[in-house]
Amino acid sequence: MTSFLIPVLTNNPYFEISVPFDGVVYNLEFYWNIRAQRFFLSVYNSENKIIISGIPIVLNFPLFYQYKNLKLPKGLLYAADTTGKNIPPKLEDFGSRVQLYYDGDF
């Protein structure tokens, strides 16, 4: 099983991390949109060329689901509310109450 927790920064409106998905390194960019009151995700390849931009972080939904034809990881990337209340993440919740997971066995 290749399911693991993605280390996201709590209470930070913008951050980037590099994560290996299925043996390939991707650069993830997270940014808080004040108007939408939610985080968005952009994915870059290891050469920092954009693959996709502006994916909204929503709970309990495969974030790459509608983008199957792109050069995205084949596994399941999803956000989950650790309290089970399924309340969308606010700026201060992402990385604490709401966690991001990847399951490569999906």
Express each pLDDT in 76-98 by its tens digit: 999 999 999 999 999 999 999 99
- Prediction pTM value: 0.92
Number of domains in the chain: 1
From CA 28, how far away is CA 16, in angstroms rounded? 6
Nearest to 25 by CA among 53, 55, 47, 8: 47
* 77, 64 contact by CB (below 8 A): yes
Residue with tokens 């790459």: 64
- Domain containing 18 equals 3-103
Per-residue model confidence (pLDDT) at position 39:
96
Question: Tens digit of pLDDT for each residue in 21-46?
Answer: 999 999 999 999 999 999 999 999 99
User: What long-range pairs does 81-90 form, CB within 8 A, spacing at least 24?
Assistant: 86/59, 86/60, 88/38, 88/58, 88/59, 89/38, 89/39, 89/57, 89/59, 90/37
